[in-house]
Amino acid sequence: MNDSAAKINRPLHWFAIATAIATFLLLGAGGLVTSHEAGMSVPDWPNSYGYNMFAFPPSKWVGGIFYEHTHRLWATVVGLMTTILAVWIFAKDFRKWMKWLGVAAFLGVIAQGVLGGLRVTMKMDDLGVVHGVVGQSFFVLICAIALFTGGLWQKISEQKLNVSRGLRNLVLATTVLIFLQLILGATMRGQHAGLAIPDFPTAYGKIWPDTSAQAVANYNAASKNPENITAFQINLQMVHRAMALTIFVFICVTAFFAWRKLGARDSFAKFAFFWFALIIVQITLGAATILTNKAADVATAHVLVGALSLAIGALGCIIAFRRSLRTATVENQNAAVIAFGNLAANK
Amino acid sequence: MKKTLLSAVIAIFGVQIFAADITGTITFKGTPPAENSLTEMESMSDCISMHDTTPTTHFYVVNSTNGGFGDVVVYLKNVSAKSTGASAKPAVLDQVGCLYTPGIMAIQTGQTLTVKNSDPCNHNVHGISEANGKETTIFNDQQPSGGAELTYTFDKPEMFFKFECNIHPWMKAWVCIFDHPYFAVTDADGKFTIKNVPPGKYTIEANHRKLGAQSQEIEVKDSGATANFTFNAPAAAK
Ligand SMILES: [Cu+2]
């Protein structure tokens, strides 16, 4: 196992990290598009107002077009980086499953680009939600590639296998909840439900607001926002809030068990603490989104920290699975070897 | 003989000969909520240069002297008449100084809605249906400065179909679509006229986009009818 450290391709690892950072920034650019309601500001695609997108003059990047166009341009950068990453992995990484991950990333970035284009040209609003969810899933994939190409992964593979299956499953369940929360959040953004309730932690002064037709009419009459809201939007936001509370409880339990079972100095426990802190930041940003009447930069930060929470959760799952393998049964171990690969076996 | 002639005239012109107008005034009681200043516009020279001061929203068009309430849509409910939209003159929605003019309008199904761009900059014309309580994009077209007029028609009636521009996120307009010709939008004095209504009993409704709808029963006689409504300021703004 020790000689495998020599096998780490440092430039590839750093390039994978750079691609992950570029993808994170792209999520931010995409978040700004939605926060500024600019998703439809350029009705054509891949052209921009009839121009080739690379020749579209900056003097025309005004208002919402600025967000939409820079998002498209930056997406091509991420597309190019992902293509290079996939080819590089295919050529240089000796692990077969890594080659497949590279291929998946390449196909993912193409699909994501086409989804973004179709959302505009087919005028399908629900595709905007799918585009948001696929984008964050793609970010998780790139983060995983960055993890697998680095020395940390080898260190983890050599570490004591001491993460219990209970803790591992807890991390998995929490990550799944965060993914569901992402789908809810993306739907809220697509349906402009972020402004459906003006107060937090209460909702129209109550724990669960009145959504009768009369109550909604009263909310709209008193609201300063241009758009009228619907009971559907209110309920959507309430479910998002309830889910946030559920995730918070799960994270608390996860961090507590990681601390009790592994000790505060263990790297996995530290990961759990960081995740916990991230969720606190995320809930604060969610509250701030409501209280600032959905200021675009706050709402976008909420999207980004959400993406980071998901990615950290997913990496945590992978590490937890890796560190719980040998405590599992032999069959489980074999299954996991197939799932995550084994450096020694594939050599 | 005289009676026969009259019958013939009725036969030829149908009920139109006895049609009359419904007139009325919509009044706003209380202090209207403050409008939002469109400060986002200040950083966009093409837009702000067309205004002396930063414009505001116009959600509550209230005449401060007589309380007349503008931009209220008034219409008859459950009428059997068919849309005459196909032969009606096109309605016009213009974009001036990066604002929609008018902000609230009403048209018939089958009637052409012409969208113009009188600005020195691009707009995208994004039509969104909110029927079913969910936003659905129906069309989205670019309209460059000096670009050709865009035309749209609608098959189904809908209250407050939304137009927006995503380049200038404050730009929003709402269009009510009816499948009959008996509707009007109140002017800046809160006055409206629904023309050529056949005599009979009707339910008339007045609908403000933020305050919702009120209705009353009226009878239109040969001499016409009057219907007045009063809207109260929303609770939070009182
Ligand atoms: Cu515009």
User: Residue B219 is part of a domain; what is its CATH number?
Assistant: 2.60.40.420
Q: Is the peptide bond before A201 cis (omega within 30 degrees of 0)?
A: yes
Is residue B30 one of the residues assigned to a domain?
yes
* Mean pLDDT to the nearest integer, A294-309: 97
Number of domains in chain B: 1
* Mean pLDDT to the nearest integer, A268-286: 96
For position A81, what pLDDT does the model report?
98
Cα torsion B168, A42, A74, A66 to 10°: value is: -20
Reported ipTM exceeds the 0.95 cut: no
Is residue B1 one of the residues assigned to a domain?
no
- A328: confidence class by pLDDT, cuts 50, 70, 90: very low
B123 Cα to the center of ligand 1, angstroms: 4
A124 in reach of chain B (CB within 8 A): yes
Helix (H, G, I), strand (E, B) or coil at B165: coil
For B193-231, the pLDDT digits (tens) are 999 999 999 999 999 999 999 999 999 999 999 999 999
A261 in reach of chain B (CB within 8 A): no
Task: Decide if B27 contacts B6 (C-beta within 8 A).
Answer: no
- A325: confidence class by pLDDT, cuts 50, 70, 90: low
- Window 317-336 of A: residues touching B by CB (8 A cutoff) are none
Helix axes A165-190, A296-322, angle to 10 degrees: 160
Asked if the Cβ–Cβ distance from B212 to A220 is below 8 Å, we say yes
Chain B residues close to A64, C-beta within 8 Å: 165-169
Structure tokens at B26: 């919509």
**Mean pLDDT lowest among A163-172, A321-330, B23-32, B37-46:** A321-330
pTM for the predicted model, two decimal places: 0.89
Is residue B6 one of the residues assigned to a domain?
no
Q: Name residues with Cβ closer than 5 Å to ligand 1, which is an ion.
A: B 123, 165, 167-168, 171
Is residue B237 one of the residues assigned to a domain?
no
Is residue B218 one of the residues assigned to a domain?
yes
Asked if the Cβ–Cβ distance from B167 to A65 is below 8 Å, we say yes
A90 Cβ contact list (under 8 Å, min separation 6)? A99, A102, A103
Domain that holds residue B83: 20-232
Asked if the Cβ–Cβ distance from A43 to B124 is below 8 Å, we say yes
For position B78, what pLDDT does the model report?
85
Helix (H, G, I), strand (E, B) or coil at B225: strand
Burial code (b: 16+ CB inside 10 Å, e: under 16) for A27-36 equals bbbbbbbbbb
Query: In whole angstroms, how far apart are CA A157 and each of A148, A153, A321?
Result: 10, 6, 10
> What are the strands of the beta sheet with B73-77, ordered from one edge?
B183-185, B73-77, B200-208, B212-220
Is residue B25 one of the residues assigned to a domain?
yes
For B150-185, the pLDDT digits (tens) are 999 999 999 999 999 999 999 999 999 999 999 999
Per DSSP, which regions of chain B are E strands?
Answer: 20-29, 61-62, 69-70, 73-77, 91-96, 99-101, 104-108, 113-117, 123-129, 136-143, 150-152, 158-164, 172-178, 183-185, 191-197, 200-208, 212-220, 225-226, 229-232
Is residue B48 one of the residues assigned to a domain?
yes
Answer yes or no: is pLDDT of A107 > 70.
yes
For B74-84, the pLDDT digits (tens) are 999 989 899 99
Cα(B63)–Cα(A204) distance, rounded to whole angstroms? 31
Chain B residues close to A222, C-beta within 8 Å: 33, 234-237
A79 Cα to the center of ligand 1, angstroms: 30
Is residue B95 one of the residues assigned to a domain?
yes
- Burial of residue A201 (number of CB atoms within 10 Å: 0-12, 13-18, 19+): exposed
Cα(B216)–Cα(A215) distance, rounded to whole angstroms? 22
For position B4, what pLDDT does the model report?
58
Helix (H, G, I), strand (E, B) or coil at A4: helix
Cα(A312)–Cα(B168) distance, rounded to whole angstroms? 36
Task: Decide if A10 contacts A152 (C-beta within 8 A).
Answer: no
Answer yes or no: is pLDDT of B186 > 90.
yes
